[in-house]
Structure 1
Amino acid sequence: MKTFKYSRQAFLKTLLVSALVVTGSLAAAQSKFALISHAPDSDSWWNTIKNSVKQAGEDYGVRVDYRNPPNGDLADMARLIEQAAAQGYDGVIVTIADFNVLQGAIKKLTDKKIPVITINSGTPEQSEKLGAVMHVGQPEYAAGKGAGERAKADGIKSFLCVNHYATNPASFERCRGFAEAIGADFKKSTIDSGDDPTGIEAKVSAYLRQNPGTQAVLTLGPTSAHPTLKALEKGGQKGKLWMATFDLSDEISKGIKDGSVKFAIDQQPYLQGYIPVAVLATMKATNSTDLTKVAAAVKANSKSTARFNEYGLVPAYGARHIGSGPGFVTKDNIAKVEKYAGQYR
C-alpha cells in the first residue's frame, strides 16, 4: 500500500507539472508579438534582427511581426505603434528612436496593458519612463566613449563622425562619447551625411578636404562605413587615416583584416531581437511579471543557450535591463565572428 500510495502521488505530481507545461506552451503558442523599428528598408544592418525574431518565434512557438517605416520617417513609426495598440498584440518591442516623438504612441500600448520592451536606441532610463518592461541594447554614449578611449591611446585628437541616421537623436550620443574621450569638439566633428551612398562619399571627401588636419573617422554602421571607405580610397587615405565603425558587414570585416578599419563596435544585434521575444513569450507562458525569474528561465532555456553559444553571443543580464554590448571586433577575434556577420552578428 505504501509503495502504491507513493507511486500514485508521484504520478499525480508529474501529471500536474505536465499540465502546467502544456498550458504554458499553449498560452505562448497563441501569442502574437510585434517588433517595430525606426530603420528604413535600405538599412541592411537590421537583417540580423529580422533573423533573430524569426528564430526566437520558432524556438518559443509564437508569432512575431516585423514592422518599420519604409523611409525611416518617425511619424510613420509612431503610426505603426498606434496600429499595434489597436490590433491587440500580446506584446510589442520598439526602438526609442526619439523619446518625444514616440512617447504618445507608446502610451497607447501601456494604457492597454500591452507589455512593451524597448531595444537598440534610447536608454534604460527612458525605457522606464515609458513604462516598458525592460530595455535591451547597447549604451550609446558608453560605446562611443569606449571607442574614443581606444583612439586616444593611439594618439588621436581630432576626428570626423559620419552620422547616416541623424533622424534618430540617440545616434549622436555615439559621436559625443567619442569626442569627449579624445577631447574634441563634438558638434564641429559631426556631419549629418544622410543615407545615400553617393551623398555620403561626397560629404566625407568634402569634409576631409576642408579639414586636412583630421586624424580619424568614425562611422555609425555599414550604411556610412562603406561609402567612407570608398572616399578614403579615392583620396589615397585608406589604411593611412585612423578609422573605426559601429556594427559589422562583410566589407567591414575585410577592412579589419587588411588594417584599414581599426575595429568594429559590435552591439550584438541578434540579442536585441531574440531576447525580447524570449522574455515576452516566457512572461505569457508563465503568467509572470517577475523579471528575475523570467530572465533566469530565458537564460536556462536550452534553445536560447544553444543559439547564443553557437554565435558567440554574450548578453549582460542585469537586475532589470539586459545589455547587448558594446563589444569590439578586432584582428584578434575577427575570425570567430565573421562567419556569422550579417546573419547572426
Structure 2
Amino acid sequence: MARFRTWVGIALAGALSVSLAGCSSTGGKRAEDARKAASAEGRAAVNTPRWTFAMVTHSGDGDTFWDIVQSGAEQAAVKDNINFLYSHDDEAQQQAQLVNAAIDKKVDGIIVTLAKPDAMRSALARAHKAGIPVITVNSGSEESKEFGALTHVGQDETIAGEAVGQELNERGRKQAICVLHEQGNVGHEQRCDGVEKTFDGKVQRLYVNGTSMPDVQSAIEAKLQTDKSVDAV
C-alpha cells in the first residue's frame, strides 16, 4: 500500500519534470537526455516484485497534456520495476469499462481520474471490493474519499477558482470568460464556480473542444469579437 502511494507520487513528478525539460536550454535538456538513456537500458533501479499498475484517464485523443503525464508515468514505471498499463477515453462510460477491464486483469493498483465521477462510482466500488487500491488524480478531489480512494493527487478546484476571482478583482476586471475545454468535466465546472464566488464582476462560461487548438482559438476569438465588454479570459 505504501509503495503504491510512493510510486504514484514519483510518476506524477516524472510527468512534471518532462513538461519542464523544454523550459531550460541547458539543465532541463541534459536531465531529460539522461532520463531517456536510463529508460532505454530497460533496467529498474529497484529489486522488488514486479507489480502491475493501471492508469485510466478521461483524456480524448490528441490531448497533449495527458501524453506528457503518460510519458512521465512510463519512465517512473521502468525505474521502479512496474508493469504499467495506460488507457483512456473521454466518454465516461467507456472510461468506467476500462477500469473494469483493469480489475478483471487483477492489477495491483489503479490510478484514475474522476472528471465525470457519477459514471465511475460503481467501477471504483468494484475495485474496492476486489481489494485493489485506487488513487485518484487531476480531477475529482471532492469525490475521491467518498469513492474509497486512498488519496487524491491534485488541487481543490473550487479554491483554485476563488483565487482567480480574487486576482481579477485586484486587477479591476469586470467581465470574464471562463473557458471549459471538456464538456461535463466537474473539475472545470468547480473552477468556474469558484471564480463566480469571489469575482465582483460577471462570469460567462465558454465551452470548447480542448483536443483541437484551432477550434479553441476560433471559439475564443469569436466570443471576444462579439462581446467587446470582456476584459479577462
Please report the TM-score for the alignment, with normalisation by the length of structure 1.
0.51
Q: How does 1:72-151 map to 2 (within 5 A)?
A: 72-123=90-141, 125-151=142-168
Corresponding residue number in structure 2 for 1:56: 76
User: 1:230-279: CA deviations, max 9, x gaps?
Assistant: xxxxxxxxxxxxxxxxxxxxxxxxxxxxxxxxxxxxxxxxxxxxxxxxxx
Are 2:200 and 1:194 aligned?
Answer: no
Shift of 1:108: 1.4
What secondary structure, in the 3-state scheme, does the structure 1 residue paired with 2:184 have?
A: coil
What secondary structure, in the 3-state scheme, does the structure 2 residue paired with 1:93 have?
A: strand
Unaligned runs of 5+ residues in structure 2 are 1-45
CA distance in 2, matches of 1:198, 1:51: 24
Corresponding residue number in structure 2 for 1:156: 173
Corresponding residue number in structure 2 for 1:29: 49
CA distance in 1, matches of 2:138, 2:155: 6
Please report the TM-score for the alignment, with normalisation by the length of structure 2.
0.74
User: 1:140-182: CA deviations, max 9, x gaps?
Assistant: 1111222222222111121111211123122111222223222
CA distance in 1, matches of 2:79, 2:164: 35
Paired positions, count: 187
Are 2:60 and 1:40 aligned?
Answer: yes
- Greater C-alpha radius of gyration: 1
Q: In structure 1, which of residues 198, 208, 213 is the aligned counterpart of residue 224 of structure 2?
A: 208
Q: How does 1:262-273 map to 2 (within 5 A)?
A: none
Unaligned runs of 5+ residues in structure 1 are 1-24, 218-345
Task: State the structure with bigger RCO (CA 8 A, min sep 6), 1 or 2.
Answer: 1
1:158–1:182 contact (8 Å) kept in structure 2: no
- Structure 1 residues 210, 77: closer, same or farther in 2, change over 3 A? same
One-letter code of the match for 1:82?
N
2:53–2:83 contact (8 Å) kept in structure 1: yes
Shift of 1:185: 4.2
CA distance in 1, matches of 2:196, 2:175: 8
1:116–1:131 contact (8 Å) kept in structure 2: yes
Are 2:197 and 1:177 aligned?
Answer: no
Runs of 4+ off more than 4 Å: none
